Amino acid sequence: MHPRFRLLLTPRQPLTANLRFRQHNTVGRTLLSSIGLKREFSASAKFNSKSSKPPPQIHMATTKTGQPLDRGTLDILLRRRLFYTPSFEIYGGVSGLYDYGPPGCALQANIVDTWRKHFVLEEDMMEVDCTMLTPHEVLKTSGHVDKFADWMCKDSKTGEIFRADHLVEEVLEARLKGDKQARGIKEEEDKEDEDDKKKKKKKVKEIKAIKLDDAVRLEYEETLAKIDNYDGKELGELIVKHNITNPATGGALEPPVSFNLMFSTSIGPSANLPGYLRPETAQGQFLTFSKLLEFNNAKMPFASASIGKSFRNEISPKSGLLRVREFLMAEIEHFVDPQKKSHPRFAEVKDIELRLLDKDVQLSGKTILTTKKIGDAVKEGIVDNETLGYFLARIFLFLTELGVDPEKLRFRQHMANEMAHYATDCWDAELLTSYGWVECVGCADRSAYDLTVHTKKTGQPLIVRENLENPVVWEEWDVDVDKKWMGPRFRKDAKKVEETIEAISQADREILAAKQAAGEKVMITVEGLGEVELEKVEIVKRQKQQYIREYTPNVIEPSFGIGRIFYSLIEHIYYTRPEDATRGVLAFPPKIAPTKVLIVPLSGNAEFVPWIEKITRTMRKAGIANRVDDSSASIGKRYARNDELGTPFGVTVDFQTVKDGTITLRERDGMKQIRASIEDIVAVVKAQVEGNGEPWEKIVEKFGEFTGQDLE
Amino acid sequence: MHPRFRLLLTPRQPLTANLRFRQHNTVGRTLLSSIGLKREFSASAKFNSKSSKPPPQIHMATTKTGQPLDRGTLDILLRRRLFYTPSFEIYGGVSGLYDYGPPGCALQANIVDTWRKHFVLEEDMMEVDCTMLTPHEVLKTSGHVDKFADWMCKDSKTGEIFRADHLVEEVLEARLKGDKQARGIKEEEDKEDEDDKKKKKKKVKEIKAIKLDDAVRLEYEETLAKIDNYDGKELGELIVKHNITNPATGGALEPPVSFNLMFSTSIGPSANLPGYLRPETAQGQFLTFSKLLEFNNAKMPFASASIGKSFRNEISPKSGLLRVREFLMAEIEHFVDPQKKSHPRFAEVKDIELRLLDKDVQLSGKTILTTKKIGDAVKEGIVDNETLGYFLARIFLFLTELGVDPEKLRFRQHMANEMAHYATDCWDAELLTSYGWVECVGCADRSAYDLTVHTKKTGQPLIVRENLENPVVWEEWDVDVDKKWMGPRFRKDAKKVEETIEAISQADREILAAKQAAGEKVMITVEGLGEVELEKVEIVKRQKQQYIREYTPNVIEPSFGIGRIFYSLIEHIYYTRPEDATRGVLAFPPKIAPTKVLIVPLSGNAEFVPWIEKITRTMRKAGIANRVDDSSASIGKRYARNDELGTPFGVTVDFQTVKDGTITLRERDGMKQIRASIEDIVAVVKAQVEGNGEPWEKIVEKFGEFTGQDLE
């Protein structure tokens, strides 16, 4: 196969394939962590080991209020409150599979709803719902069958399987740590490291204090900095060279083999239609392109969008919700004329400032963020085009609307060797968490790659035919042959002669025409026949016009990992009460919060019941998700429970309610209360939930702070 | 294995396993069509062939306006307007897999949104999102691995695979049809039958006019009436007996083998964790029961709910969207104390009248519907309990809110032999379509089956522990043994003696106590030791109290096939304009319609552009999904296009708009227009979309009908 075609078969770069957790690890380096999938570019392009080692991050994960974030405590909270829970736990669980409980499910639905309004409705995108089951051939064409894989190696004795790059990384890290111990260098972050060990189920359980040669230490560090870029053969060589074995048993490992990350299955009763669970939602959108174009009255540009589950059979998932085997994605495919990548609404966003980490800065070995207006970034050529820039700004607006901390959000550009060869430009929206910077949204200009490969494979043109207002006009020499003469003259060779004529260049035609005009014979050389005379031909110059332009659209693809946004957002909005470090609060914005209002009767008094019913009914009618807590726990305990659930408002029903129909409303973060009629309170909450309310201080000012309630 | 346990392993009855399309077929019978999955009860219970043959249905599928429904025309409309489209069509497609295009996707989202509000929010249910990937063991316990299967047979020469019951049915039907032809009995519904043949990809392409013996004809008809109830062996016997072969080649068929309908895959890199794609969402909810109970502060009853894709690897899918391999389900598991199946909100629904087809009527061979208040149906014992009745009424309200025609909605009770042995009662909400009555919602009281089998398998008690207000008090004889005496006295036999003492019945203890009181020795017989004296025991009567009651909740499960509701709803609301039979209209209620408003500028005049922008912005802010059609097609054509998309309202922008800021609003079905300011029009539409607007006639009355526009 021609190399060019081989390159075309390099798969598209999927969302998490580009994921890089930049972890502040235990040996004091920040490295491209191996938590990322094996990237496809690794075989063809390598980081320069010097330049690919960015300096340590200046940022650390903190709570919303700036305290150090204790991931373990947060995780316990999230499980206790059923934001998520390991799937099939009573059957022992399956790693990489998690269920969302009621608050997690509501939070996810609110994120998806916000996404749909922010992108699909606002931009009139065409949402599609394509199947997860995907036949082999489609994913063969996209490149996933051949390339969407990690390297694994097996302990032939125990049968245990390791992800090769992870194992090499862990073993070398452990040795470097042992070297430090042997040299008596104090470990700084022992506790965090212990937590990490438990969380991430490390294979290397024990650090041995063995001093390394300086050269060996350097080699290990360089290897670690490049760990994402080795292919299977190279990983195998590293395993042999550094004598890496099964950490538990010391057993020898087989050479790494490629393991495809797609779940395979078989469609239908005979085994002849192999298929996979899709690894991304994009392919379905590409295949529907022509129908969508027609649905859009053949107008360009347009975008399709899809929200749905995708699947990746990770070799050994860890990092909680960040690396799972089944996950929700939301993807946009914005199809655009490659010659017109401007965007009509770019002016609306051009002054939005983004924190950028461009490829040049990374190449220089730095991770210094530049804050820049997206308009300037496009003007200066840092971001390739307006449409791509428009989406980066829209992604920023979306994430901050959810409650993401803009200080912990950066846009990192892919470096040339990190991008698929066909991609024009690619930026990741990364959120800073306790796992490091996590890629939550990818935004790539994928050129015409995807539509082109499917067109080639199926013969169905996934193209745009555009009527040209001003037809393209040009002149051309035609060689008109008298077919009635040619057939009898050349017989079986007629076709060959015709093809030879067809192949005459415009320049040669002009020369022939000049000769003919000068009365000379028109002679051409035909393979196998030698020179022949074309007696009955005319060579004439004609004007040509083209009214239709055909092109394969380029695709700009913002791709959202909803589960990663879900988790990172929680880290951003989590804090503990200053007065009580054990009291965790999830400070979701009202719009995103799973439940908006907790309704608390002051006691189990029967007189309160009709009031509670009235309040819930009124709120439900106003579309406000609420929950009653009439348990016997103290009001303080009930509020604490709801701090953990992130419920922004609390309503109490007390004896004054029975008298005058007023209720109290308490805001979660400031804990200040107001007292007013049910109708007024519902109106206040509705405005807050819909995002068009006044700041809470103003509301307290307006209604007056209420402090009189007897909470006993 | 004990037979009782074997029975317990009968799988739960999944949604479509109970599906029965009652088709008015070509031989004039209405039968339990083979489109239904092989039901699990078939091996253990059989229909009586006489009583299981209900009389022909009196209802025919019609359009909303009562005309005969032409499914072929409707289907072309749905595909042209991209409600749905075969998946992977440019790769040749995969049967049973469909994508939803923009209007289909929006319609589906609106149905799901309505469902979530109607059930989850209204009833404070606990929504969960569990994984689709499910390990083998879970589905082994639920019974799906062993029993969730159809019978297939193979032509050993060509390799072609047939679903055995379908093939037998088709061949016998074709022979009966040939018999009719031979007897010169005219076919009534030739055209419809031709359509059916194409749509359903029948295997039997040709009807041969061969007369059958009367006895043979009768036998065929009786076989067809029972076709759903044969197991593989019986189907094999029928194939041999009636000499059924591959219809295309006449080739012999292998005996039927069981084909499991779950898509299998392997989780993780080693092959030792086999799994499946879930065939229903219910199992994830059952496994999370204890966590949900805790989340609910241990209060009963409560319901969980889940919306998500499920998968069934149909042997040969047909019937369009009604039988697909990947489909959206919405399931509720309402967990209830088996002793308290009343429902606190039953009074709210008790007067709702449902069209019931109960099991007794069906047993008597009839299909006459009874219209009955659900309160009376529960009182009379037709519906087993209040909670089940409550959900039937709520399902009725949900479906009619979507726009389902109540005249084409019935609740059919499962007959005893059709229900799983553990189920208490089961009703299907069936919608009349051109495919017959289609089961769209199942509603079953599944008793404690599901929680019990998972408890047994895992040892994790999925139970409720209830504090009893009044403890249960009783008296009991205790045999108190002095352990210090017993050990030395019996040594290695001490345990055996202790067990023997434990096993003494209360009656015997009373006798021993009396003897002891009378000064006699306490003698017992221990296996292997003979009679021994218990010197150091006291036999005393004590009062016992129990403060906690433990029980396994029963589950009432309403289970919704969203895709079936989607399709059946479309058949119910579709009609053609009386003035033009080629103009199809989808009369979605405004709330459900994919797009609410079509905005049409009267011409491409540039003056209209800012007005259109203002209108779309105002509508978007009001949450009204709208679409601009500024194509060059005539207004009439643009309206026709939107009739097909089911858009309930049309707004035009014309030269008067530029002058006075007014726009026109046209209602889809009556086609009457009003003219008012943008603000007034948006308010009118918003009220209609939210379902709290006045009837359209009132609005026309209020604003005055507008007829003055120049539509040229």
pLDDT at A41: 26
pLDDT at A36: 29
Residue A344, both tokens: 């009509």
The ipTM value here is: 0.84
Task: Report the C-alpha gap between A179 and A173 in whole angstroms.
Answer: 10
Contact predicate B251/B158, CB 8 Å? yes
Residue B271, both tokens: 């092959």
Q: Which residues of A touch B132 (CB under 8 A)?
A: 132, 309, 326
Residue A401, both tokens: 């609307």
Residue B315, both tokens: 């042997």
pLDDT at A415: 86
Sequence letter at residue B80: R
Instruction: For residue A188, name the pLDDT band (cuts at 50, 70, 90).
Output: low
Which of A14-23, A691-700, B466-475 shows the lowest per-residue confidence on average (mean pLDDT)?
A14-23
* B559 at A interface, C-beta within 8 A: no
Question: CA–CA distance from B460 to each of A84, B28, B135, B451 (Å)?
Answer: 20, 54, 17, 10
What is the percentage of chain A residues whose pLDDT exceeds 70?
A: 89
DSSP A56: P
Sequence letter at residue B253: L
- Let me know if B461 is exposed, middle or buried by CB neighbors in 10 A (0-12, 13-18, 19+): middle
The residue in chain B having the minimum alpha-carbon distance to the alpha carbon of residue A159 is B270
Instruction: For residue B222, name the pLDDT band (cuts at 50, 70, 90).
Output: confident
Q: Which phi-psi region, left, alpha or beta, contains residue A609 (left: φ > 0; alpha: ψ -120 to 50)?
A: alpha
Mean pLDDT of chain B: 86
Question: CA–CA distance from B159 to each of A269, B152, B164, B242 (Å)?
Answer: 11, 12, 14, 21
Residue B131 and residue A97: Cβ atoms within 8 Å?
A: yes
Please list the residues that pair with A526 across neighbouring strands: A530
Helices (H), B190-231: 190-200, 214-225
| Residue A442 CA from chain centroid, whole number | 4
Contact predicate A301/A343, CB 8 Å? no
Is-cis flag, bond preceding A601, omega within 30?
A: no
What average pLDDT does this structure show over B460-484? 91
On the question of pLDDT at A314 being above 70, the answer is: yes
pLDDT at A50: 33
3-state helix, strand, coil in chain A (%, to 5): 40, 25, 35
State phi, psi for B305 to the nearest 5 degrees.
-150, 155
* A64 at B interface, C-beta within 8 A: no
Residue A191, both tokens: 């506790």
H or E element in which residue B41 lies: none
On the question of pLDDT at A547 being above 50, the answer is: yes
Residue A517, both tokens: 């005009």
pLDDT at B380: 97
Size of interface A-B (CB pairs under 8 A): 204
Task: Report the C-alpha gap between A215 and A208 in whole angstroms.
Answer: 19
pLDDT digits (tens, 9 = 90+) for B322-381: 999 999 999 999 999 999 999 999 999 999 999 999 998 888 877 789 999 999 999 999
pLDDT at B201: 59
Mean pLDDT of chain A: 86
Is-cis flag, bond preceding A301, omega within 30?
A: yes
Contact predicate B421/B10, CB 8 Å? yes
* B622 at A interface, C-beta within 8 A: no
pLDDT at A187: 60
Residue A313 and residue B269: Cβ atoms within 8 Å?
A: yes
In chain B, DSSP finds a helix count (H) and a strand count (E) of 25, 30
pLDDT digits (tens, 9 = 90+) for B295-311: 998 999 999 999 999 99
pLDDT at A344: 93
Contact predicate A592/A92, CB 8 Å? no
Task: Report the C-alpha gap between A562 and A569 in whole angstroms.
Answer: 10
Q: Closest to B138 (Cβ–Cβ): which among A91, A121, A627?
A: A91
What is the percentage of chain B residues whose pLDDT exceeds 90?
A: 65
DSSP string, A275-314: EEE-SSSHHHHHHTHHHHHHHTTT-SSEEEEEEEEEE---
Instruction: For residue B59, name the pLDDT band (cuts at 50, 70, 90).
Output: low
On the question of pLDDT at A42 being above 50, the answer is: no
Domains and CATH numbers, chain B: 3-266+279-453 (3.30.930.10), 464-551 (no CATH), 595-703 (3.40.50.800)
Instruction: Name the more confident of A391 and A270.
Output: A391
Q: What is the largest CA-CA distance in chain A?
A: 117
Indicate the Cα dihedral angle B340, B344, B347, B349, nearest 10°: -90
pLDDT digits (tens, 9 = 90+) for A594-611: 999 999 998 888 999 999
Q: Is A427 helix (H, G, I), strand (E, B) or coil?
A: strand
Closest CA to B78 of B405, B591, B563: B563
Q: Is B343 helix (H, G, I), strand (E, B) or coil?
A: coil
Instruction: For residue B607, name the pLDDT band (cuts at 50, 70, 90).
Output: very high
Contact predicate A531/A396, CB 8 Å? no
Closest CA to A68 of A156, A177, A160, A192: A192
* A467 at B interface, C-beta within 8 A: no
What average pLDDT does this structure show over A52-72? 72
Task: Report the C-alpha gap between B555 and B414 in whole angstroms.
Answer: 17
Contact predicate B562/B330, CB 8 Å? yes
Chain B, 102 to 121: residues with Cβ < 8 Å from chain A are: 102, 104-106, 108-109, 116, 121
Instruction: For residue B710, name the pLDDT band (cuts at 50, 70, 90).
Output: low
State phi, psi for A4 to the nearest 5 degrees.
-60, -40
Please list the residues that pair with A644 across neighbouring strands: none
Bridge pairing between strands B326-336 and B370-373: unpaired
- Let me know if B548 is exposed, middle or buried by CB neighbors in 10 A (0-12, 13-18, 19+): exposed
Strands (E), B339-386: 353-357, 370-373
pLDDT digits (tens, 9 = 90+) for B168-200: 999 999 999 999 999 888 765 444 444 444 445
- Let me know if B192 is exposed, middle or buried by CB neighbors in 10 A (0-12, 13-18, 19+): middle
Q: Is B674 helix (H, G, I), strand (E, B) or coil?
A: strand
pLDDT digits (tens, 9 = 90+) for A140-160: 999 999 989 899 999 988 888
Contact predicate A664/A654, CB 8 Å? yes
What average pLDDT does this structure show over B158-165? 90
Task: Report the C-alpha gap between B342 and B334 in whole angstroms.
Answer: 12
Half-sphere exposure of residue B580: CA atoms within 13 angstroms, side-chain side: 8
Contact predicate B625/A121, CB 8 Å? yes
Q: What is the largest CA-CA distance in chain B?
A: 117
Which of A227-236, B235-244, B423-432, B443-452 shows the lowest per-residue confidence on average (mean pLDDT)?
A227-236
Buried b / exposed e over A618-652, threshold 16 CB at 10 Å, is: ebeebebbbbbbbeeeebeebbbbbbbbbbbbbbb
pLDDT at B16: 34
Residue B26, both tokens: 């070509």
Half-sphere exposure of residue B313: CA atoms within 13 angstroms, side-chain side: 27
What average pLDDT does this structure show over B630-654? 92
Residue B291 and residue A85: Cβ atoms within 8 Å?
A: yes
Contact predicate A297/B600, CB 8 Å? no
Residue A102 and residue B126: Cβ atoms within 8 Å?
A: yes
Interface with chain B: mutation pick from A130, A158, A452, highest number of B CBs within 10 Å? A130
Residue A87 and residue B131: Cβ atoms within 8 Å?
A: yes
Q: Closest to B620 (Cβ–Cβ): which among A102, A122, A270?
A: A122
Question: CA–CA distance from A525 to each of A499, A501, A537 (Å)?
Answer: 12, 10, 15
Task: Report the C-alpha gap between B245 and A56 in whole angstroms.
Answer: 73
Task: Report the C-alpha gap between A432 and A434 in whole angstroms.
Answer: 7
Q: Is A663 helix (H, G, I), strand (E, B) or coil?
A: strand
Residue B269 and residue A284: Cβ atoms within 8 Å?
A: no
* A409 at B interface, C-beta within 8 A: no
pLDDT at A201: 59
Indicate the Cα dihedral angle B156, B157, B160, B162, nearest 10°: -40
On the question of pLDDT at B42 being above 80, the answer is: no
pLDDT digits (tens, 9 = 90+) for B369-406: 999 999 999 999 999 999 999 999 999 999 999 999 99
Closest CA to B358 of B338, B382, B380, B379: B382
On the question of pLDDT at A342 being above 90, the answer is: yes
Task: Report the C-alpha gap between B439 and B18 in whole angstroms.
Answer: 8
On the question of pLDDT at A192 being above 60, the answer is: no
Chain B, 232 to 271: residues with Cβ < 8 Å from chain A are: 259, 263-270
3-state helix, strand, coil in chain B (%, to 5): 40, 25, 35
Residue A538, both tokens: 């005319």
Residue B93, both tokens: 């497609």
Contact predicate B619/B647, CB 8 Å? no
Q: Closest to A129 (Cβ–Cβ): which among B100, B273, B627?
A: B100
Chain B, 146 to 165: residues with Cβ < 8 Å from chain A are: 152, 159, 161
Task: Report the C-alpha gap between A215 and A443 in whole angstroms.
Answer: 40
pLDDT at A59: 59
